[in-house]
Amino acid sequence: MRAGVLCLQGAFREHCEVFATLGADVVEVRTPKHLTDLDALVLPGGESSTISHLLVTSGLREPLSQAIRNGLPTLGTCAGLIVLANEVLDGRPDQEPLCAIDLTARRNAYGRQVDSFEAPLDVKDLVGESFPGVFIRAPVIERVGPGVEVLAMHDDRAVLAREGNVWVTTFHPELANDFRIHEYFLQEVAA
């Protein structure tokens, strides 16, 4: 399994470590050539408007968008969700999402850094106890389209969802010291 991690900004190192622990061949994606022959890709948390800008300046925006449209399984966490969304509320005026999943995301909806928290999450089809959701300046999913499957909720809001080959979380599974979300994603990719 060749798992790529977008390594432009944000919590990419942690995703690389989780995938390596799960036995994947990790590819640090920094240029379009790094998208070649990937089985899966993660867009990490970080600062969504910065990631969006760096996708343009690195030349990755169009090749990445095309790879996702062509079926590359992609997991976006926190800021990665915002980058993948159809619509972004409270974003920068020049911030253009990739429109890879039919949902509306609101940036930093839970508040500032000091408002970060952890919450147990019951995830559909995830074996074992609840998953420790780590929410850091997290977005909120305001709307999901009819083709989007919600896999976990917190306070009556979707926090883990998927549509086709695109998965998104509002929380940071790479910071939970629990690899089950990444493992679940990779198992679905390999199926």
For the chain, residues with pLDDT lower than 50 are none
Identify the three-state secondary structure at position 143: strand
> Which pLDDT belongs to residue 174?
97
pLDDT in tens, 85-134: 999 998 888 888 999 999 999 987 776 666 788 999 999 999 889 999 99
> What are the chain's domains?
2-190 (3.40.50.880)
The Cα–Cα gap between 8 and 31 comes to 9
The Cα–Cα gap between 68 and 84 comes to 10
Q: Count Cβ atoms within 10 A of the Cβ of residue 57 and give its class: 0-12 exposed, 13-18 middle, 19 or more buried.
A: exposed
User: Do 27 and 3 form a contact (C-beta atoms < 8 A)?
Assistant: yes
> Which pLDDT belongs to residue 144?
97
> Which pLDDT belongs to residue 94?
80
- Token pair 């867009």 in the structure block, residue: 43
> Which pLDDT belongs to residue 175?
96
Residues serving a catalytic function are 78, 172, 174
> Which pLDDT belongs to residue 112?
66
